[in-house]
Amino acid sequence: MACCDKSEVDLWTVPLIALNVSVRKKLELYLNPRNMVAADWMVVAETMDFNYLEIQNYEATNNPTRKVLEGWQARSTDASVGRLLSVLTEVERKDIVEDLRPLIDEDVRKYCESLKKKKSEPPVQVNDIDSCVPRDRVGLTLEDDPDGAPELFDAFICYCQSDFEFVHEMIRQLEQTEYKLKLCVFDRDVLPGSCVWTITSELIEKRCKRMVVVISDEYLDSDACDFQTKFALSLCPGARNKRLIPVIYKSMAKPFPSILRFLTICDYTRPCTQAWFWIRLAKALSQP
């Protein structure tokens, strides 16, 4: 990027992705609380040209500031660091600008240095399979702070793409209700670009207390699901610590996987127990 070759960086040409987790979390602390005196996230969203329905949808989330920034970054060509500072100034939140400006400038500096390094270094062909192992841990998930503790979850959700609609319902029932559980959903939470097997293994072993396995006919044909299930089982022989929880949500034509037959199943297909399904699953995931 040309802006990074100048002695003074043009912040209007630096994309919002330059801001790391620490800065974004501080923005959330400032803007998430509804404020009758100073502009909050809703005023910022209006200034970014989000419409009424979009803002209402963000209001229903646990972290509206984060959702606004993600949405703005995804849809707008002018979602830059300079534009963000301009918006904050426009809504008279110069206190935020003054407090975060040193951190923002440091993030921009690191971002520009990273771009320069990529330009100066020719691509290297690496033949070793170990090349997929991260060199320096800079974050695996959206909420990871490179300078802080890694993000932890109540459960890793093992699923195939055809079952993603049920995973959405699981998120709604377990995260967005009084249970307030934290699920690790690969397509939602994991940053792209890293080796799938390496990242999956670390999340299951070190970041998640348990694993929910969404069983279906399609699951049985998924190499990724097979790897995740067998890896999790290898960590708890005999399932003594109740690490795996199999879930069936629709009828199956194929036999239930034999490696999970010794585990108690959470069955959504039985009308007589459906009313207790989410309560049982939430209680199992809430255990220490």
Number of H helices, E strands in the chain: 11, 5
CA angle (134, 140, 141) in 5-degree steps: 170
Domains annotated for the chain, with CATH where assigned, are 11-120 (1.10.533.10), 153-286 (3.40.50.10140)
| φ/ψ (deg, to 5) at 181 | -75, 160
CB distance 227 to 200 below 8 Å? yes
Are residues 284 and 278 in contact, defined by beta-carbon separation less than 8 angstroms? no
Contact 186/200 with Cβ under 8 angstroms? Answer: yes
Nearest Cα to 218, choosing from 253, 244, 243, 188? Answer: 253
What's the confidence (pLDDT) of residue 237?
A: 55
Per-residue pLDDT 10s for the chain (288 aa) are 445 544 467 888 888 888 888 898 899 999 999 877 889 999 999 999 888 888 888 888 888 998 888 888 877 677 899 999 999 999 999 999 999 999 999 989 988 887 787 666 555 444 444 445 444 455 788 888 766 778 899 999 999 999 999 999 999 999 999 999 999 999 999 988 878 888 999 999 889 999 999 999 999 999 999 999 988 888 865 444 558 999 999 999 999 998 898 889 999 999 988 899 999 999 999 988
Instruction: Give 3-state DSSP helix, strand, coil % of the chain, rounded to 5.
Output: 55, 10, 35
Please say whether the beta carbons of 142 and 197 come within 8 A.
Answer: no
What CA–CA distance (Å, rounded) separates 135 from 144? Answer: 16
Say what the pLDDT of residue 243 is: 82
C-alpha distances out from residue 239 to 88, 192, 236, 248, 285, Å: 52, 31, 5, 19, 15
Distance CA 226, CA 224 (A): 5
The DSSP code for 128 is -
With tokens 């994991």, the residue in question is 190
Rounded to whole angstroms, how far apart are CA atoms 186 and 199?
10
pLDDT for 267 equals: 94
For residues 139 and 222, what is the distance between their CA atoms, to the nearest angstrom? 27
Q: Which residue type, as a one-letter code, is found at position 179?
A: Y
- What are the tokens at 128? 């070793």
Burial of 233-258, coded b for 16+ CB within 10 Å and e otherwise, reads beeeeebeeebbbbbbbeeeeeeeee
* CA dist., res. 213 & res. 229, Å (int): 7
Position 65, amino acid: T
d(CA 207, CA 55): 32
In this structure, are residues 212 and 281 in contact, taking their beta carbons and an 8 Å threshold?
yes
Strands 208-215 and 183-184: unpaired
> Three-state SS for 271?
coil
Q: How far apart, in Å, are the Cα atoms of 161 and each of 29, 158, 181, 183, 225?
A: 34, 10, 22, 16, 10
Pairing of strands 208-215, 244-248: parallel
